[in-house]
Chain A
Protein backbone atom coordinates (compact mmCIF):
# COMPACT_ATOMS: atom_id res chain seq x y z
CA UNK A 1 0.00 0.00 0.00
CA UNK A 2 1.65 3.22 -1.09
CA UNK A 3 -0.14 5.56 1.29
CA UNK A 4 -1.14 4.88 4.86
CA UNK A 5 -3.67 6.65 7.02
CA UNK A 6 -1.12 9.12 8.37
CA UNK A 7 -0.07 10.12 4.89
CA UNK A 8 -3.67 10.61 3.83
CA UNK A 9 -4.20 12.73 6.93
CA UNK A 10 -1.22 14.86 5.98
CA UNK A 11 -2.41 15.33 2.39
CA UNK A 12 -5.95 16.05 3.53
CA UNK A 13 -4.65 18.74 5.83
CA UNK A 14 -2.51 20.20 3.05
CA UNK A 15 -5.62 20.21 0.84
CA UNK A 16 -7.70 21.69 3.68
CA UNK A 17 -10.28 18.93 3.70
CA UNK A 18 -11.28 17.82 7.16
CA UNK A 19 -11.44 14.04 7.43
CA UNK A 20 -12.35 11.95 10.40
CA UNK A 21 -10.71 8.66 11.20
CA UNK A 22 -13.26 6.54 9.42
CA UNK A 23 -12.87 8.52 6.25
CA UNK A 24 -9.09 8.33 6.39
CA UNK A 25 -9.38 4.60 6.93
CA UNK A 26 -11.59 4.27 3.88
CA UNK A 27 -9.59 6.65 1.70
CA UNK A 28 -6.15 5.11 2.28
CA UNK A 29 -6.64 1.87 0.33
CA UNK A 30 -8.54 3.67 -2.44
CA UNK A 31 -5.76 6.16 -2.94
CA UNK A 32 -3.16 3.44 -2.68
CA UNK A 33 -4.85 1.44 -5.39
CA UNK A 34 -4.88 4.44 -7.72
CA UNK A 35 -1.32 5.45 -6.92
CA UNK A 36 -0.03 1.90 -7.36
CA UNK A 37 -1.72 1.84 -10.74
CA UNK A 38 -0.28 5.16 -11.96
CA UNK A 39 3.15 4.02 -10.88
CA UNK A 40 3.38 1.94 -14.06
CA UNK A 41 4.45 5.20 -15.72
CA UNK A 42 7.83 4.60 -14.13
CA UNK A 43 8.38 1.85 -16.70
CA UNK A 44 8.74 4.37 -19.48
CA UNK A 45 12.19 5.76 -20.16
CA UNK A 46 11.60 9.47 -20.53
CA UNK A 47 15.15 10.68 -20.04
CA UNK A 48 15.21 12.40 -23.45
CA UNK A 49 11.64 13.62 -23.35
CA UNK A 50 10.57 17.16 -22.56
CA UNK A 51 7.44 17.50 -20.44
CA UNK A 52 4.43 18.80 -22.35
CA UNK A 53 4.06 22.57 -22.11
CA UNK A 54 1.57 23.51 -24.81
CA UNK A 55 -0.62 20.80 -26.18
CA UNK A 56 -1.47 22.70 -29.35
CA UNK A 57 1.30 24.82 -30.90
CA UNK A 58 0.42 28.21 -29.50
CA UNK A 59 2.31 30.90 -27.62
CA UNK A 60 1.25 33.12 -24.79
CA UNK A 61 -0.47 36.31 -25.87
CA UNK A 62 0.01 39.43 -23.82
CA UNK A 63 -2.60 42.11 -23.34
CA UNK A 64 -2.21 45.87 -23.41
CA UNK A 65 -1.84 47.79 -20.15
CA UNK A 66 -5.33 49.26 -20.09
CA UNK A 67 -7.61 49.68 -17.10
CA UNK A 68 -11.15 48.33 -17.44
CA UNK A 69 -10.76 47.80 -21.19
CA UNK A 70 -13.08 44.79 -21.11
CA UNK A 71 -16.01 44.92 -18.71
CA UNK A 72 -15.70 41.20 -18.03
CA UNK A 73 -12.19 41.50 -16.62
CA UNK A 74 -12.53 45.03 -15.27
CA UNK A 75 -12.42 46.30 -11.72
CA UNK A 76 -14.96 48.72 -10.26
CA UNK A 77 -17.57 46.05 -9.63
CA UNK A 78 -17.50 45.70 -5.92
CA UNK A 79 -21.18 44.79 -5.69
CA UNK A 80 -20.75 41.88 -8.10
CA UNK A 81 -17.62 40.67 -6.43
CA UNK A 82 -19.26 40.69 -2.99
CA UNK A 83 -22.73 39.57 -4.10
CA UNK A 84 -22.23 35.88 -3.32
CA UNK A 85 -20.04 36.29 -0.23
CA UNK A 86 -21.25 34.40 2.87
CA UNK A 87 -20.10 37.29 5.07
CA UNK A 88 -19.69 40.60 3.27
CA UNK A 89 -19.33 43.52 5.67
CA UNK A 90 -18.72 47.19 4.94
CA UNK A 91 -17.35 46.35 1.51
CA UNK A 92 -15.03 43.66 2.82
CA UNK A 93 -15.09 39.88 2.84
CA UNK A 94 -15.36 38.76 6.45
CA UNK A 95 -13.42 35.76 7.70
CA UNK A 96 -12.81 34.39 11.19
CA UNK A 97 -10.23 36.53 12.93
CA UNK A 98 -6.69 35.74 11.88
CA UNK A 99 -3.76 36.25 14.22
CA UNK A 100 -0.54 36.82 12.32
Chain B
Protein backbone atom coordinates (compact mmCIF):
# COMPACT_ATOMS: atom_id res chain seq x y z
CA UNK B 1 0.00 0.00 0.00
CA UNK B 2 1.22 3.45 -0.86
CA UNK B 3 2.14 5.43 2.21
CA UNK B 4 -0.11 8.36 1.56
CA UNK B 5 0.90 10.19 4.69
CA UNK B 6 4.44 10.54 3.38
CA UNK B 7 3.11 12.24 0.27
CA UNK B 8 2.88 15.95 -0.32
CA UNK B 9 0.28 18.11 -2.02
CA UNK B 10 1.54 17.71 -5.59
CA UNK B 11 1.91 13.94 -5.39
CA UNK B 12 -1.53 13.43 -3.89
CA UNK B 13 -3.18 15.77 -6.36
CA UNK B 14 -1.43 14.17 -9.32
CA UNK B 15 -2.05 10.63 -8.08
CA UNK B 16 -5.75 11.29 -7.59
CA UNK B 17 -5.99 12.96 -10.99
CA UNK B 18 -4.19 10.03 -12.64
CA UNK B 19 -6.39 7.51 -10.90
CA UNK B 20 -3.46 5.86 -9.08
CA UNK B 21 -5.55 6.00 -5.93
CA UNK B 22 -8.70 7.67 -4.74
CA UNK B 23 -9.05 10.79 -2.72
CA UNK B 24 -11.03 8.77 -0.20
CA UNK B 25 -8.12 6.41 0.41
CA UNK B 26 -5.90 9.40 1.04
CA UNK B 27 -8.37 11.05 3.39
CA UNK B 28 -8.92 7.85 5.35
CA UNK B 29 -5.26 7.38 5.84
CA UNK B 30 -4.71 10.94 7.08
CA UNK B 31 -7.77 10.73 9.30
CA UNK B 32 -6.25 7.67 10.94
CA UNK B 33 -2.92 9.41 11.36
CA UNK B 34 -4.62 12.42 12.94
CA UNK B 35 -6.64 10.23 15.30
CA UNK B 36 -3.49 8.48 16.45
CA UNK B 37 -1.58 11.66 17.20
CA UNK B 38 -3.76 13.25 19.88
CA UNK B 39 -0.70 13.36 22.13
CA UNK B 40 0.80 16.12 20.00
CA UNK B 41 -2.17 18.37 20.68
CA UNK B 42 -2.01 19.70 17.14
CA UNK B 43 -5.77 19.74 16.56
CA UNK B 44 -8.48 21.46 18.56
CA UNK B 45 -11.22 19.63 16.71
CA UNK B 46 -10.93 16.95 14.07
CA UNK B 47 -13.35 16.76 11.18
CA UNK B 48 -12.82 13.36 9.58
CA UNK B 49 -16.23 13.46 7.90
CA UNK B 50 -15.43 16.76 6.24
CA UNK B 51 -12.24 15.25 4.85
CA UNK B 52 -14.13 12.22 3.55
CA UNK B 53 -16.97 14.28 2.05
CA UNK B 54 -14.52 16.48 0.18
CA UNK B 55 -12.61 13.42 -1.00
CA UNK B 56 -15.80 11.73 -2.21
CA UNK B 57 -16.77 14.86 -4.08
CA UNK B 58 -13.42 14.87 -5.84
CA UNK B 59 -13.62 11.17 -6.66
CA UNK B 60 -17.11 11.67 -8.04
CA UNK B 61 -16.06 14.67 -10.10
CA UNK B 62 -13.19 12.66 -11.53
CA UNK B 63 -15.53 9.80 -12.35
CA UNK B 64 -17.71 12.24 -14.27
CA UNK B 65 -14.67 13.41 -16.16
CA UNK B 66 -14.81 16.92 -14.74
CA UNK B 67 -11.79 19.17 -14.47
CA UNK B 68 -10.30 18.96 -10.98
CA UNK B 69 -9.17 21.86 -8.82
CA UNK B 70 -5.65 22.84 -7.83
CA UNK B 71 -5.90 20.99 -4.53
CA UNK B 72 -8.23 18.20 -5.60
CA UNK B 73 -8.10 15.27 -3.22
CA UNK B 74 -5.67 16.89 -0.79
CA UNK B 75 -6.79 16.82 2.85
CA UNK B 76 -5.37 19.67 4.88
CA UNK B 77 -5.35 21.11 8.35
CA UNK B 78 -7.00 24.47 8.93
CA UNK B 79 -5.58 26.84 11.50
CA UNK B 80 -8.31 27.65 14.01
CA UNK B 81 -8.05 31.33 13.14
CA UNK B 82 -10.06 30.76 9.94
CA UNK B 83 -13.82 30.82 10.34
CA UNK B 84 -15.24 27.54 9.09
CA UNK B 85 -18.97 27.34 8.58
CA UNK B 86 -20.61 24.96 10.99
CA UNK B 87 -17.31 23.99 12.62
CA UNK B 88 -16.18 25.48 15.93
CA UNK B 89 -13.73 28.33 15.44
CA UNK B 90 -11.98 29.60 18.56
CA UNK B 91 -8.63 31.22 17.76
CA UNK B 92 -7.59 28.84 20.57
CA UNK B 93 -9.29 31.08 23.10
CA UNK B 94 -11.76 30.22 25.82
CA UNK B 95 -13.66 33.37 24.93
CA UNK B 96 -14.70 31.83 21.59
CA UNK B 97 -15.16 28.31 22.86
CA UNK B 98 -18.24 26.84 21.27
CA UNK B 99 -18.49 29.51 18.59
CA UNK B 100 -19.88 28.00 15.39
CA UNK B 101 -19.53 30.49 12.54
CA UNK B 102 -22.44 30.73 10.13
CA UNK B 103 -19.91 31.69 7.46
CA UNK B 104 -16.73 30.47 5.80
CA UNK B 105 -13.57 32.53 5.49
CA UNK B 106 -12.58 33.48 1.96
CA UNK B 107 -9.28 31.61 2.14
CA UNK B 108 -10.79 28.37 3.41
CA UNK B 109 -13.64 28.69 0.92
CA UNK B 110 -11.07 29.07 -1.86
CA UNK B 111 -9.31 25.92 -0.69
CA UNK B 112 -12.52 23.88 -0.57
CA UNK B 113 -13.43 25.18 -4.00
CA UNK B 114 -10.03 23.95 -5.21
CA UNK B 115 -10.90 20.44 -4.02
CA UNK B 116 -9.11 20.35 -0.67
CA UNK B 117 -10.75 18.69 2.33
CA UNK B 118 -10.55 19.53 6.01
CA UNK B 119 -8.98 17.14 8.52
CA UNK B 120 -9.65 19.47 11.41
CA UNK B 121 -8.99 22.79 13.09
CA UNK B 122 -5.41 23.25 14.14
CA UNK B 123 -4.26 24.42 17.50
CA UNK B 124 -2.38 27.69 17.72
CA UNK B 125 -1.31 30.39 20.11
CA UNK B 126 -4.37 32.14 21.47
CA UNK B 127 -5.46 34.81 18.98
CA UNK B 128 -2.17 34.10 17.20
CA UNK B 129 -0.26 35.78 20.01
CA UNK B 130 2.82 33.78 20.82
CA UNK B 131 5.83 32.02 19.34
CA UNK B 132 5.68 28.69 21.12
CA UNK B 133 2.06 27.56 21.01
CA UNK B 134 1.88 27.63 24.77
CA UNK B 135 -0.82 30.32 24.98
CA UNK B 136 -3.61 28.14 23.60
CA UNK B 137 -6.58 27.57 25.87
CA UNK B 138 -6.64 24.01 24.52
CA UNK B 139 -3.17 23.11 25.71
CA UNK B 140 0.32 23.45 24.30
CA UNK B 141 1.21 21.73 21.07
CA UNK B 142 4.22 19.43 21.30
CA UNK B 143 6.69 19.42 18.49
CA UNK B 144 7.18 16.01 16.91
CA UNK B 145 10.89 16.77 17.09
CA UNK B 146 13.09 16.04 20.09
CA UNK B 147 16.69 16.80 20.72
CA UNK B 148 18.99 13.88 20.08
CA UNK B 149 19.08 11.86 23.24
CA UNK B 150 16.35 13.76 25.04
CA UNK B 151 12.67 13.20 25.73
CA UNK B 152 11.94 16.78 26.72
CA UNK B 153 8.94 18.24 24.94
CA UNK B 154 9.86 21.00 22.53
CA UNK B 155 7.86 23.85 21.09
CA UNK B 156 6.64 23.59 17.51
CA UNK B 157 6.88 27.39 17.35
CA UNK B 158 3.96 29.73 17.05
CA UNK B 159 1.54 31.00 16.50
CA UNK B 160 0.88 28.42 13.74
CA UNK B 161 2.29 25.68 15.95
CA UNK B 162 -0.52 23.21 15.38
CA UNK B 163 0.07 23.64 11.66
CA UNK B 164 3.83 23.16 11.87
CA UNK B 165 3.58 20.16 14.18
CA UNK B 166 0.91 18.50 12.06
CA UNK B 167 2.78 18.95 8.80
CA UNK B 168 6.13 17.89 10.30
CA UNK B 169 4.52 14.83 11.90
CA UNK B 170 2.84 13.84 8.62
CA UNK B 171 -0.65 14.30 10.06
CA UNK B 172 -1.45 16.33 6.97
CA UNK B 173 0.41 17.09 3.78
CA UNK B 174 -0.14 20.81 4.23
CA UNK B 175 -1.86 23.29 6.49
CA UNK B 176 -2.89 26.89 6.51
CA UNK B 177 -1.02 29.32 8.68
CA UNK B 178 -1.22 33.00 9.38
CA UNK B 179 1.71 35.31 9.83
CA UNK B 180 1.48 38.61 11.67
CA UNK B 181 5.08 38.89 12.82
CA UNK B 182 6.54 35.54 11.81
CA UNK B 183 3.83 33.07 12.76
CA UNK B 184 4.20 31.00 9.58
CA UNK B 185 7.96 31.26 9.14
CA UNK B 186 9.15 30.75 12.70
CA UNK B 187 7.20 27.52 13.35
CA UNK B 188 8.04 26.25 9.85
CA UNK B 189 11.73 26.88 10.53
CA UNK B 190 11.92 25.06 13.83
CA UNK B 191 9.92 22.05 12.65
CA UNK B 192 11.83 21.55 9.40
CA UNK B 193 9.03 22.43 7.01
CA UNK B 194 8.36 25.14 4.46
CA UNK B 195 6.02 28.08 4.77
CA UNK B 196 5.42 31.29 2.91
CA UNK B 197 3.80 34.54 3.95
CA UNK B 198 2.76 36.26 0.72
CA UNK B 199 2.70 39.99 0.02
CA UNK B 200 0.23 41.77 2.33
CA UNK B 201 -3.12 41.74 0.54
CA UNK B 202 -2.60 38.57 -1.54
CA UNK B 203 -4.82 36.45 0.70
CA UNK B 204 -8.11 37.85 1.86
CA UNK B 205 -8.45 38.50 5.57
CA UNK B 206 -12.24 38.16 5.38
CA UNK B 207 -13.33 35.55 7.89
CA UNK B 208 -9.95 35.28 9.54
CA UNK B 209 -10.10 36.19 13.23
CA UNK B 210 -8.14 39.43 13.33
CA UNK B 211 -5.01 39.90 15.40
CA UNK B 212 -3.27 42.94 13.87
CA UNK B 213 -5.06 43.95 10.70
CA UNK B 214 -2.22 45.82 9.01
CA UNK B 215 0.07 42.82 9.39
CA UNK B 216 -2.05 39.65 9.27
CA UNK B 217 -1.51 37.49 6.20
CA UNK B 218 -2.50 33.91 5.55
CA UNK B 219 -0.18 31.49 3.83
CA UNK B 220 0.52 27.80 3.27
CA UNK B 221 2.73 25.50 5.33
CA UNK B 222 3.88 22.29 3.68
CA UNK B 223 6.91 20.14 3.18
CA UNK B 224 8.11 21.44 -0.16
CA UNK B 225 8.36 24.69 -2.04
CA UNK B 226 6.24 23.32 -4.85
CA UNK B 227 3.49 22.32 -2.43
CA UNK B 228 3.53 25.83 -1.00
CA UNK B 229 3.28 27.29 -4.50
CA UNK B 230 0.28 25.11 -5.32
CA UNK B 231 -1.53 25.84 -2.12
CA UNK B 232 -0.82 29.57 -2.19
CA UNK B 233 -2.32 29.74 -5.68
CA UNK B 234 -5.46 28.17 -4.27
CA UNK B 235 -5.62 30.44 -1.24
CA UNK B 236 -4.80 33.79 -2.83
CA UNK B 237 -6.97 36.10 -4.89
CA UNK B 238 -8.75 39.40 -4.92
CA UNK B 239 -11.64 39.66 -2.49
CA UNK B 240 -13.93 42.68 -2.70
CA UNK B 241 -14.96 42.05 0.91
CA UNK B 242 -11.49 42.98 2.14
CA UNK B 243 -10.63 46.63 1.48
CA UNK B 244 -6.91 45.83 1.73
CA UNK B 245 -7.09 42.93 -0.74
CA UNK B 246 -4.85 43.26 -3.80
CA UNK B 247 -6.83 43.59 -7.00
CA UNK B 248 -4.35 41.54 -9.03
CA UNK B 249 -4.35 38.27 -10.92
CA UNK B 250 -2.92 35.34 -9.01
CA UNK B 251 0.23 34.28 -10.90
CA UNK B 252 0.84 30.65 -11.84
CA UNK B 253 3.63 30.19 -9.35
CA UNK B 254 3.79 26.42 -9.63
CA UNK B 255 4.04 26.43 -13.42
CA UNK B 256 6.80 29.01 -13.38
CA UNK B 257 8.92 27.49 -10.61
CA UNK B 258 12.59 27.55 -11.53
CA UNK B 259 15.67 26.89 -9.42
CA UNK B 260 17.90 28.62 -11.91
CA UNK B 261 18.91 31.86 -10.26
CA UNK B 262 21.30 33.18 -12.89
CA UNK B 263 20.98 36.91 -13.16
CA UNK B 264 19.60 37.21 -9.62
CA UNK B 265 21.33 39.08 -6.85
CA UNK B 266 20.82 38.01 -3.26
CA UNK B 267 21.35 40.54 -0.50
CA UNK B 268 22.82 39.53 2.87
CA UNK B 269 21.71 42.08 5.48
CA UNK B 270 24.55 42.82 7.87
CA UNK B 271 22.20 43.86 10.69
CA UNK B 272 20.86 40.30 10.96
CA UNK B 273 24.25 39.20 12.28
CA UNK B 274 23.26 40.07 15.82
CA UNK B 275 25.26 39.68 18.96
CA UNK B 276 24.66 36.33 20.54
CA UNK B 277 23.31 34.61 17.44
CA UNK B 278 24.29 30.95 17.87
CA UNK B 279 27.01 29.61 15.62
CA UNK B 280 24.83 26.89 14.12
CA UNK B 281 22.43 29.58 12.89
CA UNK B 282 25.31 31.49 11.32
CA UNK B 283 26.66 28.29 9.77
CA UNK B 284 23.36 27.46 8.21
CA UNK B 285 23.12 31.00 6.83
CA UNK B 286 26.58 30.49 5.24
CA UNK B 287 25.45 27.24 3.67
CA UNK B 288 22.40 29.03 2.30
CA UNK B 289 24.61 31.57 0.58
CA UNK B 290 26.67 28.82 -1.02
CA UNK B 291 23.58 27.03 -2.30
CA UNK B 292 22.19 30.18 -3.85
CA UNK B 293 25.54 30.98 -5.41
CA UNK B 294 25.59 27.47 -6.79
CA UNK B 295 22.18 28.12 -8.34
CA UNK B 296 23.66 31.03 -10.27
CA UNK B 297 22.89 33.94 -7.99
CA UNK B 298 25.26 36.73 -7.10
CA UNK B 299 25.65 37.45 -3.39
CA UNK B 300 26.04 41.01 -2.10
CA UNK B 301 26.17 42.54 1.35
CA UNK B 302 23.42 44.99 2.05
CA UNK B 303 22.33 47.13 4.96
CA UNK B 304 18.90 47.41 6.57
CA UNK B 305 19.79 50.03 9.15
CA UNK B 306 16.53 50.11 11.10
CA UNK B 307 16.33 46.36 11.68
CA UNK B 308 16.97 46.76 15.39
CA UNK B 309 13.89 48.94 15.77
CA UNK B 310 11.54 46.69 13.87
CA UNK B 311 10.74 44.41 16.78
CA UNK B 312 9.94 47.13 19.33
CA UNK B 313 7.88 48.96 16.69
CA UNK B 314 6.02 45.73 16.03
CA UNK B 315 5.32 45.33 19.73
CA UNK B 316 3.55 48.67 19.71
CA UNK B 317 1.66 48.40 16.43
CA UNK B 318 0.45 44.82 16.77
CA UNK B 319 -0.82 45.14 20.35
CA UNK B 320 -2.45 48.49 19.55
CA UNK B 321 -4.40 47.00 16.68
CA UNK B 322 -5.13 43.89 18.70
CA UNK B 323 -6.48 45.85 21.67
CA UNK B 324 -9.11 47.29 19.34
CA UNK B 325 -9.70 44.16 17.23
CA UNK B 326 -10.38 42.12 20.35
CA UNK B 327 -12.85 44.61 21.83
CA UNK B 328 -15.68 42.73 20.10
CA UNK B 329 -15.27 39.75 22.43
CA UNK B 330 -17.65 41.08 25.04
CA UNK B 331 -20.11 38.29 25.75
CA UNK B 332 -23.02 39.89 23.90
CA UNK B 333 -23.25 38.27 20.47
CA UNK B 334 -21.17 35.09 20.65
CA UNK B 335 -18.73 33.18 22.76
CA UNK B 336 -18.27 33.23 26.49
CA UNK B 337 -20.42 35.35 28.80
CA UNK B 338 -19.49 35.66 32.44
CA UNK B 339 -22.26 37.45 34.28
CA UNK B 340 -21.51 37.66 38.00
CA UNK B 341 -24.49 38.01 40.33
CA UNK B 342 -25.88 41.52 40.08
CA UNK B 343 -23.36 42.65 37.46
CA UNK B 344 -24.13 45.51 35.13
CA UNK B 345 -23.17 45.66 31.48
CA UNK B 346 -19.66 47.01 32.00
CA UNK B 347 -19.00 44.52 34.81
CA UNK B 348 -20.12 41.76 32.53
CA UNK B 349 -17.61 42.88 29.91
CA UNK B 350 -14.78 42.97 32.44
CA UNK B 351 -15.67 39.58 33.92
CA UNK B 352 -16.15 37.93 30.53
CA UNK B 353 -12.89 39.20 29.16
CA UNK B 354 -11.02 38.33 32.35
CA UNK B 355 -12.31 34.78 32.20
CA UNK B 356 -12.05 34.39 28.43
CA UNK B 357 -8.63 35.73 27.52
CA UNK B 358 -5.35 34.08 28.42
CA UNK B 359 -2.45 35.90 30.04
CA UNK B 360 -0.52 36.71 26.89
CA UNK B 361 -3.64 38.07 25.21
CA UNK B 362 -4.36 40.23 28.24
CA UNK B 363 -0.78 41.43 28.29
CA UNK B 364 -0.95 42.54 24.69
CA UNK B 365 -4.37 44.13 25.05
CA UNK B 366 -3.05 46.12 27.98
CA UNK B 367 0.05 47.23 26.11
CA UNK B 368 -2.07 48.18 23.12
CA UNK B 369 -4.54 50.06 25.29
CA UNK B 370 -1.72 51.87 27.04
CA UNK B 371 0.12 53.00 23.92
CA UNK B 372 -3.10 54.38 22.40
CA UNK B 373 -4.35 56.05 25.54
CA UNK B 374 -4.61 59.79 25.97
CA UNK B 375 -1.27 61.52 25.82
CA UNK B 376 0.72 58.52 24.60
CA UNK B 377 -0.45 58.15 21.02
CA UNK B 378 2.31 60.26 19.47
CA UNK B 379 5.14 58.93 21.57
CA UNK B 380 4.27 55.31 20.99
CA UNK B 381 1.89 54.49 18.18
CA UNK B 382 2.71 57.31 15.81
CA UNK B 383 6.43 56.94 16.42
CA UNK B 384 6.17 53.20 15.76
CA UNK B 385 4.34 53.83 12.48
CA UNK B 386 7.10 56.24 11.49
CA UNK B 387 9.71 53.62 12.31
CA UNK B 388 7.67 51.27 10.18
CA UNK B 389 8.05 53.70 7.30
CA UNK B 390 11.81 53.66 7.86
CA UNK B 391 11.93 49.86 7.96
CA UNK B 392 10.00 49.69 4.70
CA UNK B 393 12.29 52.34 3.22
CA UNK B 394 15.34 50.23 4.17
CA UNK B 395 13.96 47.42 2.05
CA UNK B 396 13.12 49.74 -0.85
CA UNK B 397 16.69 50.97 -0.85
CA UNK B 398 18.00 47.42 -0.69
CA UNK B 399 16.05 46.52 -3.82
CA UNK B 400 18.31 48.81 -5.82
CA UNK B 401 21.13 46.41 -5.00
CA UNK B 402 19.49 43.02 -4.89
CA UNK B 403 16.42 41.02 -5.94
CA UNK B 404 16.01 38.94 -2.81
CA UNK B 405 17.28 38.83 0.73
CA UNK B 406 18.59 35.77 2.53
CA UNK B 407 18.59 35.64 6.33
CA UNK B 408 18.04 33.15 9.10
CA UNK B 409 14.37 32.68 9.96
CA UNK B 410 14.90 32.48 13.71
CA UNK B 411 17.70 33.27 16.14
CA UNK B 412 17.53 29.77 17.62
CA UNK B 413 16.26 26.26 17.15
CA UNK B 414 13.24 24.84 18.98
CA UNK B 415 13.33 25.43 22.69
CA UNK B 416 11.72 23.38 25.42
CA UNK B 417 8.13 24.00 26.36
CA UNK B 418 8.02 26.15 29.50
CA UNK B 419 11.59 27.34 28.90
CA UNK B 420 10.57 30.91 28.15
CA UNK B 421 7.36 31.12 30.11
CA UNK B 422 7.50 34.00 32.51
CA UNK B 423 9.80 36.01 30.28
CA UNK B 424 7.59 37.54 27.62
CA UNK B 425 10.35 39.70 26.22
CA UNK B 426 12.70 36.77 25.63
CA UNK B 427 9.84 35.07 23.82
CA UNK B 428 9.25 38.12 21.63
CA UNK B 429 12.89 38.02 20.50
CA UNK B 430 12.13 34.81 18.60
CA UNK B 431 10.58 36.93 15.89
CA UNK B 432 13.44 39.36 15.53
CA UNK B 433 14.35 38.17 12.01
CA UNK B 434 10.79 37.62 10.87
CA UNK B 435 9.18 40.90 11.90
CA UNK B 436 10.88 43.36 9.52
CA UNK B 437 9.35 41.73 6.42
CA UNK B 438 5.97 41.75 8.16
CA UNK B 439 6.18 45.45 8.90
CA UNK B 440 7.02 46.08 5.26
CA UNK B 441 4.29 43.77 3.94
CA UNK B 442 6.81 41.76 1.89
CA UNK B 443 6.58 38.15 0.75
CA UNK B 444 8.85 35.98 2.88
CA UNK B 445 9.42 32.29 3.18
CA UNK B 446 11.18 29.83 5.40
CA UNK B 447 12.77 26.70 3.96
CA UNK B 448 14.70 24.05 5.88
CA UNK B 449 18.39 24.83 6.13
CA UNK B 450 19.57 21.65 7.77
CA UNK B 451 19.82 20.28 11.31
CA UNK B 452 21.88 21.65 14.15
CA UNK B 453 24.19 19.62 16.36
CA UNK B 454 21.21 18.59 18.51
CA UNK B 455 19.49 17.16 15.45
CA UNK B 456 16.94 19.99 15.35
CA UNK B 457 15.86 21.78 12.17
CA UNK B 458 16.90 25.31 11.29
CA UNK B 459 15.22 27.55 8.76
CA UNK B 460 16.47 29.91 6.12
CA UNK B 461 14.40 32.91 5.24
CA UNK B 462 13.99 34.49 1.82
CA UNK B 463 12.44 37.94 1.56
CA UNK B 464 11.26 39.36 -1.74
CA UNK B 465 9.99 42.56 -3.28
CA UNK B 466 6.28 43.29 -3.09
CA UNK B 467 4.35 40.85 -5.35
CA UNK B 468 7.48 38.78 -6.09
CA UNK B 469 6.36 35.54 -4.50
CA UNK B 470 7.79 33.85 -7.58
CA UNK B 471 11.31 35.06 -6.83
CA UNK B 472 10.98 33.92 -3.24
CA UNK B 473 9.66 30.50 -4.23
CA UNK B 474 12.36 30.05 -6.89
CA UNK B 475 15.17 30.81 -4.45
CA UNK B 476 13.50 28.53 -1.91
CA UNK B 477 13.44 25.78 -4.50
CA UNK B 478 17.13 26.30 -5.24
CA UNK B 479 17.92 25.84 -1.55
CA UNK B 480 15.58 22.90 -1.22
CA UNK B 481 17.24 21.10 -4.14
CA UNK B 482 20.69 21.62 -2.71
CA UNK B 483 20.12 21.10 0.99
CA UNK B 484 18.86 17.59 0.47
CA UNK B 485 16.84 18.06 3.63
CA UNK B 486 14.82 14.91 4.23
CA UNK B 487 15.04 14.55 8.00
CA UNK B 488 11.89 13.49 9.79
CA UNK B 489 11.15 13.41 13.48
CA UNK B 490 11.19 9.92 14.94
CA UNK B 491 7.67 8.91 15.72
CA UNK B 492 7.42 8.79 19.50
CA UNK B 493 3.71 9.52 19.76
CA UNK B 494 1.08 6.80 19.68
Contacts and interface: CB of A to CB of B under 8 A. Distances in A.
A–B contact, 8 Å CB criterion (strictly below): yes
A17 B362 contact: yes
Interface in B342-389: 343-351, 353-354, 357, 362-363, 365-367, 369-371, 373, 379-380, 382-389
Contacts of B466: 56-57
B353 A56 contact: no
Interface hub of B102, B330, B371, B439 (most chain A Cβ within 10 A): B102
Nearest to A82: B333
Given A17-B366, A42-B379, A77 B392 contact: no
B438 to A, nearest CB: 9
Contact of A96 (B103, B348, B428): B348
A14 B373 contact: yes
A44 B367 contact: no
Given A16-B350, A42-B379, A98-B344, A52 B385 contact: yes
Given A49-B390, A56-B200, A84-B99, A41 B309 contact: yes
A92 to B, nearest CB: 11
B269 interface: no
A96 B312 contact: no
B282 interface: no
A44 B309 contact: yes
B313 A41 contact: yes
B366 A31 contact: yes
A73 interface: yes
Contacts of A73: 241
A83 to B, nearest CB: 6
Contacts of B369: 11, 14-15
Nearest to A47: B386
A46 interface: yes
Contacts of A58: 201, 244, 246
Given A56-B246, A86-B337, A38 B315 contact: yes
Contacts, number: 170
A7 B206 CA distance: 35
B384 A41 contact: yes
Nearest to B438: A55
B243 to A, nearest CB: 6
Nearest to B362: A17
B201 A56 contact: yes
B19 interface: no
A51 B123 CA distance: 35
Interface in A72-97: 72-73, 77, 80-81, 83-87, 93, 95-97
A22 interface: no
Contacts of A80: 102-103
Nearest to B466: A56
B424 interface: yes
Interface hub of B102, B386, B392 (most chain A Cβ within 10 A): B386
Contacts of A27: 362-363, 366
Which size class do A's interface residues fall under?
35 or more
B331 interface: yes
B215 to A, nearest CB: 8
A8 to B, nearest CB: 7
Interface string B311-342: 01101100000010001001111111101000
B214 A33 contact: no
B306 interface: yes
Contacts of B330: 16
Contact of B367 (A31, A52, A95): A31
A44 B348 contact: no
Contacts of B348: 95-96
B425 A33 contact: yes
Interface hub of A84, A86, A97 (most chain B Cβ within 10 A): A86
B160 to A, nearest CB: 21
Contact of A18 (B316, B353, B388, B425): B353
Nearest to A19: B354
B416 interface: no
B140 interface: no
Given A58-B244, A84-B99, A96 B200 contact: no
A41 B380 CA distance: 8
B415 to A, nearest CB: 19
Interface string A36-48: 0111111010100
Interface hub of B363, B370, B379, B389 (most chain A Cβ within 10 A): B370
B373 A17 contact: no
A4 interface: no
Nearest to A94: B332
Contact of B100 (A17, A61, A70, A84): A84
17 contacts: A11-B369, A31-B363, A31-B367, A35-B370, A37-B312, A37-B425, A41-B384, A49-B386, A50-B386, A51-B385, A51-B386, A52-B389, A56-B199, A72-B241, A83-B100, A83-B102, A86-B334
Given A17-B353, A34-B424, A52-B214, 4 more contacts: A44-B386, A46-B386, A56-B466, A83-B102
The list of the 10 closest CB pairs from A to B, nearest first, reads A51-B385, A55-B441, A84-B334, A80-B102, A86-B337, A46-B386, A18-B354, A18-B350, A16-B349, A52-B388
